[in-house]
Structure 1
């Protein structure tokens, strides 16, 4: 980013995947500014510069940063010590109004996300709401939701743009401040794929790429066919990749059942030989596996929390394939584990496994973290995937098609009907 010549960067949720000391070290290495107006210390001080000013062709351009207040629901609490993530609209409008008075153009770098028609569900409102609440903003360059806006969205006099994620596109908007009214003259997302690689950037990245190839290129297993996956796919309906991840977690810690968050499955697997790099594409965050031993009532609470929390956000809750839920009127009415119905009064102990994003970060699962039997095993989720491939060598997505959800009509039939959808692997 230094070599490319960025002017500023907004703070996102993944900046807090690691301790604040790592973020501060990155800030020292950067030749550009980290901007944010709504992250404060507990005594009300700004943590980052709220905005910067750049002079372009004699015009004063202000760049102000915004970060979603949802970060405490996404990041390890230990990495957020001493920080307050303020609601950004009321807290920064006066600042933007002042910037508008002495600048020619005001740009927001936003990590709030883009939600069309303000349909943000349980997430904090995004860029459309920002544009309505602070109409003095001329332009919002967004992130967080990885939205690919091929045309700018205009709310009042504010343009909203976003260029997907992962450096797939360079977003370009041409602005002519001498024009009255609409000042945009052109906008496009330019695909990066197809351009010749820059030798100066290659020289910088070469030693890291060589080391990564040596460490991550080793074969860990094989797939019969593709496991489709990735964001926008695994959340829609149960997919074999999610069931495979759940099975790997369950096996690694010898649990009775496992819970997997669909948004922690960031990729699928190609057909053929599978490398450690492929597994890291699925689970890139370094989450660890946590366990707890629950009785019947606690198990019901955990399953209901997982189911209701994710369906409310139009996400998919993944469970290991030995768990089947009977759903009636959108409510869980029966839970079967290994073919046996589990009552709320069951006194047995059931070992559950979930990664620490669920158990230690999401407040809905505080009761798991606070359980006397709770343990963070320290085992990384990618280790579980690697172990699973080494144990089974070859995986077929058709072996993971059993669904955890069934209608009451189906579930009232013998469970062997459902079990027969499993396809055993050929040895």
Structure 2
């Protein structure tokens, strides 16, 4: 067979998405420089016959890498590009399978006499309707599922209509629903967080803690801060504010640790700030559960 070298490349700005405690320990270098050095090493020192890059850089950058670094194959991501037919630049083949588990990319290499004679790339549409859970994975997860099942599947609320996640859109009902209950749960004047952190819609009907965890999968801690209305009004971030904010008054604002570490509202303008006891999703889930119990 052939000796194949794999190289993973990721965007430098990915570091900005990490928790600050992790970010201090990590350096992410220019992917073109890193890729060039590793391709040279694998070809000259390890005598690799094929170089395959696994990238999270976006389709445009993949094309630049194909032209400049000339690997054999690039399996890319980040731009959510769906390539039903591979893109070939010189001798480099670029493949991307889109996003959100909608497709599965499959690359077949035909090796004869220790040489790559041909390849075949196919894109398959994926649906959970036609797939069965892997028995081995089910076996591994089973003890953990038993441990948390009672708490996670407990009914905590009832929705009369579905609330869909709509990142970057105004009048986002799901965002407003979560913020409103986050405010009440923490006795805050205002709640805000990044809409891209809301990963799943909430269905109509009974809502469980598991639903809230799927909607807010990141265990970001809740953070509370005192911020002047002037800065909230003039902040360029995108928030669906409710009510009237007065420039000279101070407001208690709750958010998650991800936003608190990155937004000037919290890093520069907060006169008081502290991390709360629980993650955001637990404050919301516990409050929803208590609101049912009180009825």
Q: Deviations over 1:377-400 (max 9, x none)?
A: 233111232144235549xxxxxx
Within the candidate set 153, 158, 164, 2:92 is matched to 158
Aligned to 1:92: 35
Deviations 1:209-244 (A, max 9, x none): 333422311100101011112xxx433443211111
**Could you report, residue by residue, the CA deviation over 1:324-383 in whole angstroms, capped at 9, with x for unpaired residues?**
xxxxxxxxxxxx43xxxx34xx2x2122222111111x2xx2451353401122331112
Structure 1 residues 145 and 354 mapped into 2: Cα distance closer, same or farther (>3 Å)? farther
1:353 correspondence with 2:286: no
| Number of matched pairs | 289
Q: Is the 8 A contact 2:4 2:49 kept in 1?
A: yes
Could you tell me how far apart the structure 2 residues matched to 1:60 and 1:227 are? 50
Which secondary structure state, in structure 2, belongs to the residue aligned with residue 172 of structure 1?
strand
Are residues 1:218 and 2:154 paired?
yes
Take 1:137 and 1:298, find their aligned partners in 2: how far apart are those partners? Answer: 49
From the superposition, tell whether residues 162 and 277 of structure 1 become closer, same or farther in structure 2 (CA, over 3 Å): farther
1:268 aligns with 2:201: yes
Q: Which residue of the partner structure matches residue 111 of structure 1?
A: 56
The corresponding residue for 1:18 is none
Cα gap change, 1:321 to 1:296, in 2 (>3 Å):
closer
Residue 251 (1) aligns with residue 184 (2): yes
- The partner residue of 1:321 within 242, 253, 264 is 242
Against the structure 1 CA distance between its residues 378 and 132, is the aligned structure 2 distance closer, same or farther, given a 3 Å change threshold?
farther
The question of whether the paired residues in 1 share the 8 Å contact of 2:16 and 2:23 is answered with no
Taking structure 1 as reference, are residues 155 and 375 closer, same or farther at Cα in structure 2, changes over 3 Å only?
A: farther
How far apart, CA to CA, are the structure 2 residues paired with 1:161 and 1:240? Answer: 36
Q: State how far apart, in whole Å, the 2-side matches of 1:76 and 1:97 are.
A: 33
Unaligned runs of 5+ in 2: none
Q: For 2:190 and 2:137, how far apart are their aligned partners in 1? A: 46
- 1:53-86, Cα deviation, whole Å (9 max, x unpaired): xxxxx21111111122123310112113332111
d(CA) in 1 for partners of 2:77, 2:146: 30
Structure 2 contact 105–121 (Cα < 8 Å) conserved = no
Q: CA deviation at 1:262?
A: 1.1
Corresponding position of 1:174: 108
Q: 1:172 to 1:65 in 2, by over 3 A?
A: same
Give the match for residue 195 of structure 1: 131
1:139 matched to 2:73? The reply is yes
- The residue aligned with 1:71 is 14
Distance in 2 separating the partners of 1:151 and 1:211: 45
Tell me, which stretches of 5 or more residues in structure 1 are unaligned? 1-57, 119-125, 307-316, 323-335, 395-426
* Aligned partner of residue 193 in structure 2, secondary structure: strand
Q: Aligned-pair distance for 1:91?
A: 3.4
CA RMSD of aligned residues (A): 3.1
Q: TM-score, normalised by structure 1?
A: 0.60
Deviates more, 1:258-267 or 1:235-244: 235-244
TM, length-normalised to structure 2: 0.84
SS of structure 1 residue aligned to 2:140: helix
Change (3 A) 1:298 1:195: closer
